Amino acid sequence: MPHSLRFSKALAGKLGEEAGGELMDMLNIIELTQRTEFRELASRLSTLEGKLAQQTVELRSEFRAELREQLASLTVNVERRISAVESDLRDRMSGVEKRLIGWMFGFWIGTVATLLAILRA
């Protein structure tokens, strides 16, 4: 809603009718120019905001994709390590079982020998 600037009567009287009119015309032109520039800047800002929003969406999408890739890689590495530890644990448990069976057999032979000795006596 454009409006024109006006001089007070005292200022118009000191400048004169013609100079005051020219000054007012110049000020109105300046105001119109500033309004036009402001509209252009507001339009550019709106465009930039749209671009920024689009780039933010793209960056989020790229970040999520990269994060998924890294998470998948990490998951694979963790699963490999767990498998390695599980395999090592099975091997160790197998060794322990073999030793326990050996000890159990030794105690069993010892017990049978002792019982036979007691029964013969």
**Residue pLDDT tens, the chain, 121 long:** 455 556 666 766 777 777 777 888 888 899 999 999 999 999 999 999 999 999 999 999 999 999 999 999 999 999 999 999 999 999 999 999 999 999 999 999 999 999 999 999 7
Q: Which domain holds residue 78?
A: 9-120
Residue 27 tokens read as 């000020």
Q: Is residue 101 part of a domain?
A: yes
Q: Is residue 34 part of a domain?
A: yes
Q: Is residue 105 part of a domain?
A: yes
Q: Is residue 20 part of a domain?
A: yes
SS3 at position 83:
helix
Residue 80 tokens read as 């490999």
Look at the chain and report how many structural domains it folds into: 1
Residue listed under structure tokens 């550019």: 44
From 56, 6, 55, select the one nearest 27 (Cα to Cα): 6
Query: Which amino acid makes up residue 88?
Result: D
DSSP assigned state of 17: H
Q: Is residue 97 part of a domain?
A: yes
Q: Is residue 1 part of a domain?
A: no
